[in-house]
Structure 1
Amino acid sequence: MEIMYVNGTPARDDKPLVLVIGKLDGIHKGHQALLNAAAKQKGPEESLAVWTFKQHPLWVLKEDIRFKGSLLPEKEQMEVLEQFGVERVYQVDFTKDYAAISAETFIMEHLSQLNIKRIVVGEDFRFGAGRESGTDDLIDLCSNLNIAVTVVPVIKENGRKISSTKIREWIADGKMESVQAVLGKPYSITGTVVHGEALGRKLGFPTINMGGIEEYVTPKPGLYLGSAEIHHSPDHKEYWNVLINAGFSPTVGGRVYRLEAYLIDFSGDLYDKMVSIHFLRFLRDEIKFDNLDLLVAQMNEDKAEAKLILE
């Protein structure tokens, strides 16, 4: 898969494309519907392509902290897009100047540089400065360039429109079952195991400390039931049930948000290993205990509850 980084107007290219346009934040079921529709309409000589943004527009334009992190960082997003048959991705550097481009300029001066045969968007698609234009405008403008347009109906789950904004809210509220329902898989964070203070080991509950998680949308502080995917190599992965502690460790005076996981019944050294943590269920809020004995007692209760659920 080719990744084309776009800063301003894209370079001219004659490769025939069917182009999906959207942030594709998290590649939820709604985004999957766009990709599947585009793949079905792609001709034998055409390539499936995606036009997306490196930064979330609401973070760039409003500095809304809810949109600083990613549901799916770039590397993982590219891997998932490739699984859907995408052959080329236009990764746009979204800036305030780029956001000020009119809808007509975007189509007639930017997308006209590419050999687009068909554009695929959702019915709620908006584009141009201040989100000035919708799908009817897109169809009118593209007709001037002989580009066909497919508008895919909004996908709903339990009568509610699927949206990345709602997914972010659910993660912030610890509603991981709802997140999984619309992503089609559990919400996951991948990082490298780093050295911590080894307090868990001293208490009889050795945990792995996840490093390199700053890009992600952070879950609500608390304890979760989940699974760990240990990446020994591309062809060798190992899976364990885990208790995940997300938050600040208030019992020991923690001030920095951290992600730790206790692999149930696991024994071994995972330092420097890449591990993916999959969130399945929120169990309880983070608690500040008066002493470590109370913390250990609660951890034993948590482990027993987890085993009951898993059974």
Structure 2
Amino acid sequence: MWTTSSLTNALTPTVVALGNFDGIHQGHQQVILPVLNDDPQIRSTVVSFSPHPKEFFTGQPRKLLTPRSEKAFQLSAIGVEQLVLLPFNRELAALTPQQFVEEILVNHLQARRVSVGQDFRFGCKRSGTATDLQAIAAKSEIAVTIVPLLTFQGERISSSAIREALQEGNLQGANRMLGRSYSLVGEVVQGQQVGRTIGFPTANLQLPPEKFIPKQGVYGVRVSGVGIDRKLGVMNIGNRPTVNGTKQTIEVHLLNWSGDLYGQMLTVELEQFIRPEQKFASLDDLKAQIKADCETARTMWLPVS
């Protein structure tokens, strides 16, 4: 998939889905679906923003469900051909709704069709609505599809709702809203190697700093990487209080597997929240609990897809 932050490098003409799309959850997918097409001459394109507008206006770093590389991967998996990440700056924020349509959609992207969610807002001070976009774009003969909001258990599916579920350890709810398992993608780096001294070697994951980390605790997971295809494992997110840890780590133990993973990129799909992190009286107690966690992971229902 072609990814660019420069409008001059965008492949045109396009059909465009507009939005922030952090998470590429089921609601986002409904917005993207109308721009997937079989015409090789027209690029199915997602137009998003970097940094997130809320980060730009507040000046506070924003943790993302899908950092740039993950967003590109998820979009490619559903058939999007191009990701255009508009640099969100003062110039872009100052554009009126009319200017946004004319400069971005018409002049640069040569958009033929646009899809947005019902709650989409754009232009200076978020003054433009989805229906405004529809009216303005019609003057340039660009059709705009407005997609109704998608709900889960009576509540709107949103990136914020997914973050809240992940913070609470409600992995089932988060994954239902996402339409897939929440995943962590990172490089295996050197750790303190405490796990191997008690018989449970772990891969210590280093994630992008902007990645949203769910509730601390132990998870049943599926792990993929070079030579590893969704292998069952147990992951701990936490400070490792039993060994006087002071820094949060993310460590994965693969069941019935051994090998050298240093330097590899792993994708860890979170399938089940097993328990919160806790401090044990001794390493023997910790070892017994990890053994029990592994048995829980082996016996619980973990979907293959």
Both structures adopt the same fold (TM-score exceeding 0.5) = yes
In structure 2, how many angstroms separate the alpha carbons of the residues matched to 1:223 and 1:14? 44
How far apart in 2 are the matches of 1:55 and 1:301? 42
TM-score (normalised: structure 1)? 0.88
Q: Distance in 2 between matches of 1:204 and 1:289?
A: 17
The answer to whether the Cα contact below 8 Å between 1:248 and 1:254 also exists between their aligned partners in 2 is yes
Are positions 1:238 and 2:242 aligned together?
Answer: no
TM-superposed deviation, 1:97: 4.5
- 2:33 corresponding residue in structure 1: 36
Match among 123, 126, 135 for residue 128 of structure 1:
123
Instruction: Name the SS for the 2:210 alignment partner.
Output: coil
- SS in structure 1 at match of 2:122: coil
**Equivalent residue number for residue 182 of structure 2:** 187
CA-CA distance at 1:45 after TM superposition: 4.2
- Relative to structure 1, is the Cα distance of residues 239 and 137 closer, same or farther in structure 2, using a 3 angstrom cutoff? closer
TM-score of the aligned structures, taking structure 2 as reference length: 0.90
Q: Which residue of 1 aligns with 2:52?
A: 56
Which residue identity lines up with residue 133 of structure 2 in the other structure?
Answer: L
Q: State the alpha-carbon separation in 1 of the partners of residues 208 and 13 from structure 2.
A: 38
Alignment of 1:1-311 (within 5 A): 1-6=1-6, 10-11=7-8, 15-39=12-36, 45-64=41-60, 68-113=62-107, 114-232=109-227, 237-310=228-301
> Which moves more between the two structures, 265-274 or 218-227?
265-274
Residue type of the alignment partner of 1:120? S
Contact 1:14-1:115 within 8 A present in 2 as well = no
* CA distance in structure 2 between the partners assigned to 1:78 and 1:13 by the alignment: 15
Shift of 1:268: 2.2
CA distance in 2, matches of 1:251, 1:63: 37
Cα offsets for 1:37-82 (capped at 9, x unmatched):
2225x767432112111222222222455xx222122122222222
- The 1:17/1:267 distance shift into structure 2, 3 A limit, reads closer
Does the 8 A contact of 1:13 with 1:115 survive in 2? no
Rounded to whole Å, the distance in 1 between the matches of 2:195 and 2:218 is 14
Runs of 4+ aligned structure 1 residues displaced above 6 Å come to none
Secondary structure at the counterpart of residue 27 of structure 1: coil
1:268 is matched by which residue type in structure 2? Answer: G
- The 3-state SS of whatever aligns with 2:12 is strand
Moved more, 297-306 or 246-255: 297-306
Aligned counterparts of 1:171 and 1:49: Cα–Cα separation in 2 = 29
- Residue range with higher mean Cα deviation, 112-121 or 289-298: 289-298
Unaligned runs of 5+ in 1: none
Structure 2, gaps ≥5 residues long: none
**CA distance change for structure 1 residues 149 and 283 in 2, over 3 Å: closer, same or farther?**
same
Report the Cα distance in structure 1 between the residues aligned to 2:233 and 2:10, rounded to whole angstroms. 48
Distance across 1 between alignment mates of 2:291 and 2:12: 60
Q: Cα offset for 1:185?
A: 1.1
CA separation in 2, counterparts of 1:268 and 1:145? 58
Check conservation: 2:101, 2:136, Cα contact below 8 A: yes
Give the CA deviation at 1:298: 1.9
SS in 2 for 1:76: helix
- What amino acid does structure 2 have at the position aligned with 1:155? L
Any idea what the Cα deviations from partners look like across 1:96-118, whole Å, max 9, x if unmatched?
Answer: 44323322221233323132121
Give how far 1:145 is off.
1.9
